[in-house]
Chains A and B, each alone.
Chain A
C-alpha cells in the first residue's frame, strides 16, 4: 500500500507539483480516509523510489587508474551524447579490478571497454575450444559441471 502512495507522490512531484503542496494533499487525503498512520512508511518508500530513480539517471564511468580518466572521457564522449548526458553530469569511479580501459554504465546501458572483459572473453573462448578434463570423463552417471548455457551450439 505504502509503495503505491509513494509512487503516486513521486509522480505528482515529477508532474510539476510543489513537493510541500503534494505532501499536504496526500496528508489530507490519508486523514480523510483514516490512514494517516501510513505516513512514516510512505516516507521510507518514497526514499526508496528516489534512490531508484536517481540510480536510473546516474551515469558512472569507471577506470582502472586515475590517470586514465581523461582518455576514457574522450573515448566515451559519443556514447554519452547518445545517453543524453555530458561529462560533467557523470560520476567517476576508480576500480582497479578493470586492469585497464574503461566501463560506462547508466540509463539501462553498459559499455564495457575494460581489459578485464577482453581477457575474460579470450579465456572463455580458449577454455571452450580446448577440452577440459571434467568434460571428457567417461564414467557413466558421474555428474560434470554444466558446460554453460548453450555454449557449444550453432
Chain B
C-alpha cells in the first residue's frame, strides 16, 4: 500500500464523526418477484428511493464484501406500509430486513462525462471504463415543460435517410414514432439518425441518447460497436436495460434516458432520444403493476398505461429562447404484431406522438429498404422545420409514391395500360429505387437535395429500373467530385434558388454526357 493511500485512510478516520441521527425505517414483510412489501416507512413519498440494509446481523467482514448497495423504488403507498420495486437482485432481500428511507426521489447521473459511455437505467457505467468523476443528478420523474416555455418546431433533425427527410421530415423537439413488425428496420432508422448527426456542425450537433429496453445484450453490444466505428459514440449515451435486467429497470430506463437528455436541453443544446422499444417497457410495467396488485385492465395492462407513455413523451420539447432554446426530440419505437397498428400500445403511442414512420414487412421482404409505407406514415409538425431546398425537391413526392402504390396492382396488366398510367408506374418504380438506401450510410441533406432534384428532372427516366441504384451511386460520386461548391451553397443557405438549379441542371447534363452507357437510347 502506498503512503498516499495510507494518508487518505488516516484522513478519513480522522474526519469521521459517528452520527446518532435517527433514520426513518421500515421492515420487509414479503418478498416477491422484483417487488417487496414493507411495513412502516409511513412518512415516505411516492417514487422515493429506499436502501436495503444488508449488513444487519452479519459480521463486519461479510458486510464489507457487498460491492454495491441495494436500492428500491417506492411505487405503492398503502395504509400500513409501502410496496417497493427492487433496483437490483431481489435474491439479496430477505424477510425482516431493515429498509431505510433516503428522502430523495430517484435521480440519475447526467453530464458531459456520460457522452460515449454505456450506462444502466440508474445512470451507473457498465462499459468497464471506470466510474464518473463529476456528474449532476437529474430527477427521473419530472413535470414536462409548459406551453409558455415552448416554441414551435423550426429546425430539422436530419436523419440522413432520403425517404424520411423528404417525405416525413422530423423537427428538433418533435416526437416521431417508428412503428412496425419485428425485423423491419426500426432500430436501423434510429441508429442511422444518430450516425447522421455526424454531418452536423459540432456547435449545433444534437446529443444522442439511445435507450435499449428489453433488448438482447448482443444486439446492444453490436449497436455500440456500430456507433463507435461510425464515430458517433462520442456524442451518444447508451442506456441499457437488457431483457435479463429486472422489470423495474426496464420500466425506468426511458425516464433515465430523458432525464439525461433534459440536462443537455436545459443547457440550450439539442438532444435526440431513441426509446427502443416502448412495447417492451409497457410489458415490464404490466409485470410490475400486476405484482404490485394494481387492478388489470385491457390486455392486463394497468389503467395508467397511457400515462406511462404520455408523461415520458411530453418531456420532448423545443424550448423558447428565454429558456435557453434547447430541444429534446423523441424517437420512440413500437413493435406491432402482424402489421396491426390498432393494438392497444400502438394506438396509444400513435395518439401521443406528432407522427409516425410505419415500416412494412412486405416492402422489407421485397427489398425496399427503408421499408416505409408512405401512405400511412406522417409527420404532423416536421414540415415546418423542413429546409426550403428539401421542400422544393420533395413537394409532390409523397403523393406520387402513394399514387404509384395504388397503381402497382395494375402492373401485371402492363400491356393493356394507357400511356399516362404506364408513365406513372414507370416513374414510381424509379422513384422507389431512388429512395432505397443501404443501412449505416446516411446521406447529408445537400446531397439528398441534389439527388432528388436530378430524379425530379427525370434523369432516371432513361435508366432501366434494375440499374437505378447503381446510376444513383455513380451520380453521388459525380456530385461529390464536381459539385462541391453547389452542395456547399445548398448546405449553407438551405435553399435552392434558380441559379443553383441552373448549375445543377448543367452538372446533370455533364453527367449524362460523361456516362452515356448508363442510359437507354430512345
Q: Interface residues, chain A, CB within 8 Å of chain B? A: 52, 55-56, 75, 79, 82, 95, 97, 99, 101, 105, 108-113, 116-123, 125-126, 129-131, 135-154
* Smallest Cβ-Cβ distance to A82: which chain B residue: B22
**Other-chain residue from A110, A121, A122 in contact with B22 (beta carbon distance below 8 A):** A110
The answer to whether A140 and B130 touch across the interface, beta carbons within 8 angstroms, is no
The interface bits of chain B over 105-129 (1 if a CB of A lies within 8 angstroms of the residue's CB, else 0) are 0011100000000001011111111
Nearest B residue to A102 by beta-carbon distance? B20
A105 cross-chain contacts in B, Cβ below 8 A:
25, 98
Are B39 and A55 closer than 8 Å at their CB atoms?
yes
Q: Whose C-beta in chain B lies nearest to the C-beta of A128?
A: B131
User: Contact at B135–A149, with CB atoms within 8 Å?
Assistant: no
Q: Are A152 and B133 in contact (CB under 8 A)?
A: yes
Stretch of B60-68, B315-323, B329-337, B418-426 that contacts chain A: B60-68
Q: Is the C-beta of B224 less than 8 angstroms from some C-beta in chain A? A: yes
Q: Is B299 an interface residue (CB 8 A)?
A: no
Instruction: List the B residue with the shortest CB-CB distance to A152.
Output: B131
**Do A148 and B68 have beta carbons less than 8 Å apart?**
yes
By beta carbon, the residue of chain A nearest B24 is: A108
CB distance from A145 to the nearest CB of B (A): 5
- Whether B22 lies near A111 (C-beta < 8 A) is yes
Q: Quick check: A97 and B57 within 8 Å, CB to CB?
A: yes
A138 to B128 CA separation, bound complex (whole angstroms): 6
CB distance from B186 to the nearest CB of A (A): 24
Q: Which of A75, A79, A153 contacts B135 (CB 8 A)?
A: A153
- Asked if residues A119 and B127 are in contact (CB atoms below 8 Å), the reply is no
Per the 8 Å Cβ criterion, residues 4-59 of B in contact with A are 5, 8-9, 12-13, 16, 18-27, 29, 39-43, 49, 55, 57-59
Task: Give the distance in Å from the alpha carbon of A146 to the alpha carbon of B241 in the complex.
Answer: 13
Which residues on A sit within 8 Å (CB–CB) of B59? 97
Contact: B13 with A122, CB < 8 Å? yes
Does B128 contact A139, Cβ atoms closer than 8 Å? yes
User: B137 an interface residue at 8 Å Cβ cutoff?
Assistant: yes
A-B pairs with lowest CB-CB distance, top 4: A147-B131, A142-B128, A146-B124, A110-B25
28 A-B residue pairings within 8 Å (CB atoms): A56-B40, A97-B59, A105-B98, A108-B40, A109-B24, A109-B25, A111-B23, A116-B55, A117-B18, A121-B16, A125-B16, A126-B9, A130-B8, A135-B130, A135-B131, A140-B127, A141-B225, A144-B130, A146-B125, A147-B132, A148-B68, A149-B68, A150-B107, A152-B131, A152-B135, A153-B109, A154-B136, A154-B137
User: Would A120 and B64 be within 8 Å (CB), given that A110-B100, A130-B8, A149-B124 are in contact?
Assistant: yes
B60 to A56, Cβ gap below 8 A?
no
* A79:B20 contact, CB within 8 angstroms: yes
Residues of A within 8 A of B39 (CB): 52, 55-56
Q: Complex formed: what's the CA distance from A115 to B41 in Å?
A: 25
Whether B511 sits at the interface, judged by CB under 8 Å, is no
B60's nearest neighbour on chain A, judged by CB, is A116
User: Per-position contact with A for B69-91: 1 when CB-CB < 8 Å, else 0?
Assistant: 10100000000100000010000
Cβ contact within 8 Å between A120 and B27: no
Query: Considering the chains assembled together, what is the distance between the CA atoms of A52 and B55 in angstroms?
Result: 23
Closest beta carbon of chain B to A100's beta carbon, Å: 11
Chain B residue numbers with a CB within 8 Å of A99 are: 60
Report the separation of the CA atoms of residues A75 and B18 in the bound assembly, to the nearest whole angstrom: 13
Residues of A within 8 A of B22 (CB): 79, 82, 109-111
The CA-CA distance from A110 to B24 in the complex, in Å, is: 6
Shortest distance in angstroms between B71's beta carbon and chain A's nearest beta carbon?
A: 5
Interface pair A141/B130, CB less than 8 Å apart: no
B221 part of interface (Cβ distance < 8 Å)? yes
Q: Which residues of B contact A75 (CB under 8 A)?
A: 20
Tell me the minimal C-beta distance from B1 to chain A in angstroms: 9
| Cβ contacts under 8 Å, A79 to chain B | 20, 22
Assess whether A141 is in contact with B221, with CB atoms less than 8 Å apart.
yes
Nearest Cβ distance between residue B59 and chain A, in whole angstroms? 5
| A115 vs chain B, min Cβ distance (A) | 8
Distance A114 CA – B132 CA, assembled complex (angstroms)? 31
Knowing A149-B69, A150-B122, say if A113 contacts B137 (CB, 8 Å).
no
Interface-central residue, A99, A123, A150, A154, by most chain B CB under 10 Å:
A150
Are the C-beta atoms of A119 and B60 separated by less than 8 Å?
A: yes
**CB contact under 8 A between A145 and B41, given known A111-B21, A122-B16:** no
In the assembled complex, the CB of B22 is this many whole angstroms from the nearest CB of chain A, namely: 5
Whether a CB of chain A sits under 8 angstroms from the CB of B512 is no
Q: Smallest distance from the beta carbon of A120 to chain B beta carbons, Å?
A: 6
Residue of A nearest to B57 (CB): A97
CA distance in complex: A141, B233 (Å): 13
Other A-B pairs beyond A126-B12, A141-B128, 11, CB < 8 Å: A109-B24, A110-B23, A110-B100, A120-B63, A122-B9, A126-B9, A138-B128, A138-B129, A144-B126, A144-B130, A148-B68
Residues in B whose Cβ lies below 8 Å from that of A52: 29, 39, 80
A75 to B20, CA, bound (A): 10
Which of these, A95, A109, A141, A142, contacts B23 with CB under 8 Å? A109
From A97, A113, A129, give the contact of B20 (CB < 8 A): A113
Partner of B12 from A97, A108, A116, A122 at Cβ < 8 Å: A122
CB nearest neighbor in B for A142: B128
Whole-angstrom distance from the CB of A130 to the nearest CB of chain B?
6
B57 cross-chain contacts in A, Cβ below 8 A: 95, 97
Interface: B134 (CB within 8 A): yes
- Looking at A75, A108, A125, the one whose CB has the most chain B CB atoms below 10 A away is A108
Chain B residues within an 8 Å CB radius of A120:
55, 60, 63-64
The winner among B42, B128, B132, B137 for most chain A CB atoms within 10 A is B128
